[in-house]
Amino acid sequence: MAIFGYGRVSTVEQTAENQRHEIEQSGYKIEYWYADTVSGKAHAAQRKQFSILLGKLRAKDTLVVSKLDRLGRDAPDVLATIKTLGALQVEVVVLQLGKLDLTSPAGKLMLAMLAAVAEMERDLIVERTQAGLARAKAEGKTLGRPTKTTPEQRNAIISAYARKESVSALARLYGVSRATVLSIVGK
């Protein structure tokens, strides 16, 4: 009957230690801690540390996470993860939900509603991001990575290529990849 903790962050600049601290502050003494640095878009089964964690859990163990979205990318994924954990007879505690048995009928209903709300929230974030990108584009802002060459350099590359200069020589001359040269000359 061990207590496992799991945390997930999206980028290497973040740390899951805040999640561990939150779990411990709630009164859980974590015996085994696992954390992934992976996008929230990744299914739970695709997360390396979470997969290792699943292999270590035994009946009557407890898994504690700070938030519901740590258990999956969307409502179906969270529900599948809870179902898997329920089959293992693992108690699942999500701090943001309080003490609620997520494998009970009431827990499953609450879980389904919350997972759907979380998924809708992520969809709204995507919509806002797309609207912001469209507005920036309409304002004439250049989106994406900055170009590696100036317009003058691109014209020079096209002219040199037309004079049978090799792609490799042009790439070395302008300090870019062969793929960049090929995209400039239209091949």
Side chain identity at 9, as an amino acid letter?
A: V
CA–CA dist 134, 180 (Å, integer): 26
> Of residues 10, 166, 168, 183, which has the active-site annotation?
10
* Cβ proximity of 111 and 82 under 8 Å: yes
Q: Rounded to whole angstroms, how far apart are CA atoms 44 and 51?
A: 8
Q: Mind spelling out the 3-state secondary structure of 30-49? A: CCEEEEEECCCCCCHHHCHH
Is 10 annotated as catalytic?
yes
Active site residues: 10
